[in-house]
Structures are given as structure tokens and as C-alpha cells.
């Protein structure tokens, strides 16, 4: 009898243990289910914050959806200091001495040619007056980010080129590499350039390639102020390898402030024709037609806001001066050129291309260029920069070469293929 009782007790304990395990599994699954539901809810809330209710939506041939949003409902006005902001519809002053570059020029020679469309979504419609076009953020865009709060922001360890402290052969610890022209040591109130547009190949989704203008103030550490504008290919940010117009800003060296395009409150857009983050079309081809865009950023001497113009006709909007500390007055350094991320994912230098993917010595039709490079001085005049210098961490991977002539003013070719026999 004792043995039978013992066996029954043992069996009951095993049954209870199995039931306990089943209970614990169900609790874990329930928590996971709640966690997934909570994540979905948070993602949806974030999408609702980013995607404002449109008056009209346009589907672009590349799969983007462009929402035409009432100008007064744009993301900028989520900023607490912009709740009662009076929208400035035009700058008080334009810089004097503009090169006339048109909306987007096709150049088969070094002379400017015919205008062309600027963004792919234009093929399927336009946004009405009183609205601005905003590229709709999708769930997959947010889920690609390392975390939801980091979507639309650069890594806080991101770097810009530091010519004053760098030397050839050194790559930044964060893997960012540059090929730039720059000026420093004066007061700069804006910058301009015309840049030909390419579709560089990207090796890893977490890498990018861009060509842009930087207006900088402060140190290169925790208090850097930066306004940036140009074109980029960034699979992580956009989910594809298209070449897109972009902007960025930060007032604390990419730590907590700023974002790409309109993905946070900051930049105020007034233009209904150009969408930040949208695909640029057409593109330059090797030994073929060259297409370029013109970008101007300058400070309004009266209001203190930093304005951006795309081409000759599109004044896009402005960064309010209060967003910044050092740039509330002027920039102390301006950079023009290319940047890539070299993640060395396979232990070798990335094959991610900068610009056209060809070195600057190949010249027009093969290399990338910045032409009509200018700065805005304290009299609000555009002029050729004095003492333009160049910098690259490793010219065997990406390089830059200066030039000057009557047609292009100050210019430079830049870029490269990344990994090659001289850049292993």
C-alpha cells in the first residue's frame, strides 16, 4: 500500500509540475502578445504623429506616397516654441549675385542646358496652393530603425569631416569618410553650389552615400550646430537605393536635436512643389548626360532665420533661428562635398561609392562635381570663397580636386569607388 501511495503522490507531483510549466508558458506568451500589441500601438501612435492628415495624396512611380498637408498643420508646428509662430512666407532679403542655374539643368557640356523635372512624384500630380508635400512615413520605415525614437535621426556618434585635426590615412572611429572642400576662419551667412546627381552603389543597408553643403558653428564635440542639404542614397532611412533630396539639422552634435527632412519639428516648409526626402529624377550617367541641382542656404539678415532654396525658383522654407545657439549669428565653417559610411562589415573597406563612384581625375561626364561654389558674406552678397581648401581621410578610397574657370567659378571634382587595389 505504501508503495502505491508513493507512486500516486509522485504522479500527482509530475502532473502538477506539467500544469505549472503550461501555466508559465501561457503567461510568457501572453506577455509577449501584450508586448507585441504594445509595440504595434506605439508604432501606430508614432506614425500618427509623423503623418499629418492630407488634403490630397499622390502615389509616386517609385512607391512613395506624397501627402499634400495644410501648411499650418506641418510637423514644424508641433514644436512648443512654434505654437504661436507667424509663418514667414518669403525671406526679407535674397543674397545678391546669384548664378542663374534654373530648376534643374541638363549639361552635356560645361555649359548649362535645358530644364527637366525635379522629382519623380511630379509625374502623377501636384499639391494645391496652401499645402506642402510630405513623404508619408510607413511602418516598415520605423521598424528598420534601431529603435523608434532614433528614426529620422543620425547616430549620436555621427561625425563630420574635421580638417583641422585630421591627416591623410585616418578614418574616423565611427567609419564616416569624406571628400570635401571647405573654408573656415571668417563669418559665413550662407553657402551655395550646383551639384550633379548620381546613384552611387551602397554595399550594406546601414551605410549611406551623400553629397551636400554643411554650414557649421560651435565645436566638433557636444555643442556643434549644423545645417545640411543635398542629395543622398540611404537604404536604412528610405528602404530603397533611390537618390533623394534631403536636409538635416542639429544644435548639439547629433545627440538629441534635429532630424532628416520633416521627421521632427524644426524646418518650416512654405513650398508646395518640392518634397523633402523624395526621389530626384533624372540622374547623371557615366560618359553620358549630366544632371545637376542647385542648393542655396542663407540667413535672413532681418528675421535671423536660415532659408533654403532649391534651383532658381523654389524657395523651400526656413529653419527658425531659435533652434540654434552658435548659428543664431553666423557659421564659422562651410563644407561642400561627399560623405559615406564605411562599416567594414566583412573586415574590408566598403565598396559603397561616393558621388559617381569614380575618382575626380576622370573629369566631366565621369566624376561628380560641385560647381559655382559660393559663400554669403556679412553684406548679404554671394561671392567665391577665399582660401578654399580640400580634405579627405584617405585619398586612395575617395579623393577631391579643386579647379576654377569663368563658366563654373570655383569648383571641384570628388568621389571614388571605395574598396579597390589601393584601398583594401
- Of the candidates 285, 266, 256, 292, which has an alpha carbon nearest to the alpha carbon of residue 369? 292
Given 228, 335, 344, 362, which residue is catalytic?
228
| Half-sphere exposure at residue 327, Cβ-oriented, CA atoms within 13 angstroms | 32
- DSSP, residue by residue, 70-116: EGGGSGGGGSGGGTTPPP--S-S-PPBS-----SSEEESSSS---B-
Residue 258 to residue 31: CA distance in whole angstroms: 35
Q: Is 269 helix (H, G, I), strand (E, B) or coil?
A: strand
**Which among 339, 344, 389, 393 is annotated as catalytic?**
339
Can 184 be counted among the known catalytic residues? no
The whole-angstrom separation of Cα 344 and Cα 136 is 32
Listed residue (335, 334, 339) closest to 416, CA to CA: 339
Please provide residue 362's backbone torsions phi and psi, each rounded to the nearest 5 degrees.
-75, -20
Cell of 329: 549669428
Catalytic residue at 228? yes
Q: For the chain, how far is it from start to end, CA to CA, in angstroms?
A: 80
Q: Which positions are annotated as active-site residues?
A: 228, 339
Amino acid at each position: 500500500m505504501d508503495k502505491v501511495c508513493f507512486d500516486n503522490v509522485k504522479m500527482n507531483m509530475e502532473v502538477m509540475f506539467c500544469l505549472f510549466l503550461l501555466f508559465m508558458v501561457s503567461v510568457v506568451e501572453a506577455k509577449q502578445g501584450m508586448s507585441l500589441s504594445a509595440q504595434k500601438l506605439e508604432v501606430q501612435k508614432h506614425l500618427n504623429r509623423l503623418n499629418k492628415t492630407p488634403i490630397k495624396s499622390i502615389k509616386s512611380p517609385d512607391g512613395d506616397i506624397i501627402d499634400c498637408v495644410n501648411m499650418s498643420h506641418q510637423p514644424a508646428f508641433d514644436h512648443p516654441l512654434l505654437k504661436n509662430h507667424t509663418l514667414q512666407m518669403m525671406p526679407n532679403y535674397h543674397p545678391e549675385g546669384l548664378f542663374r542655374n534654373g530648376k534643374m539643368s541638363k549639361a552635356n557640356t560645361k555649359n548649362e542646358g535645358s530644364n527637366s523635372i525635379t522629382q519623380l512624384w511630379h509625374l502623377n500630380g501636384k499639391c494645391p496652393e496652401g499645402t506642402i508635400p510630405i513623404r508619408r512615413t510607413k511602418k516598415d520605415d520605423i521598424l528598420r530603425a534601431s529603435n523608434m525614437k532614433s528614426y529620422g535621426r543620425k547616430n549620436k556618434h555621427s561625425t563630420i569631416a574635421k580638417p583641422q585635426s585630421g591627416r591623410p590615412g585616418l578614418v574616423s572611429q565611427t567609419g564616416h569618410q569624406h571628400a570635401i572642400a571647405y573654408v573656415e576662419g571668417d563669418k559665413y551667412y550662407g553657402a551655395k553650389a550646383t551639384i550633379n546627381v548620381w546613384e552611387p552603389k551602397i554595399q550594406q543597408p546601414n551605410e549611406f552615400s551623400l553629397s551636400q553643403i554643411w554650414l557649421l558653428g560651435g565645436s566638433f564635440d557636444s555643442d556643434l550646430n549644423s545645417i545640411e542639404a543635398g542629395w543622398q542614397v540611404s537604404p536604412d532611412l528610405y528602404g530603397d537605393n533611390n537618390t533623394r533630396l534631403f536636409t538635416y539639422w542639429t544644435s548639439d552634435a547629433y545627440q538629441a536635436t534635429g532630424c532628416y527632412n520633416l521627421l521632427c519639428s524644426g524646418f518650416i516648409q512654405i513650398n508646395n512643389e518640392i518634397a523633402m526626402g523624395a526621389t530626384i529624377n533624372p540622374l547623371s550617367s557615366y560618359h553620358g548626360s549630366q544632371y545637376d541641382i542647385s542648393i542655396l542656404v542663407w540667413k535672413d539678415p532681418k528675421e535671423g532665420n536660415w532659408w533654403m532654396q532649391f534651383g532658381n525658383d523654389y524657395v523651400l522654407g526656413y529653419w527658425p533661428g531659435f533652434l540654434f545657439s552658435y548659428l543664431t549669428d553666423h557659421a564659422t565653417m562651410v563644407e561642400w562635398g561627399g560623405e559615406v559610411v564605411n562599416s567594414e562589415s566583412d573586415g574590408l573597406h566598403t565598396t559603397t561609392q561616393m558621388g559617381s563612384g569614380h575618382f575626380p581625375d576622370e573629369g566631366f561626364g565621369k566624376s561628380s562635381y560641385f560647381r559655382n561654389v559660393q559663400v554669403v558674406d556679412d553684406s548679404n552678397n554671394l561671392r567665391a570663397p577665399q582660401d578654399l581648401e580640400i580634405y579627405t581621410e584617405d585619398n586612395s578610397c575617395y579623393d577631391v580636386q579643386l579647379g576654377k574657370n569663368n563658366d563654373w567659378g570655383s569648383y571641384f571634382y570628388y568621389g571614388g569607388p571605395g574598396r579597390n587595389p589601393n584601398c583594401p
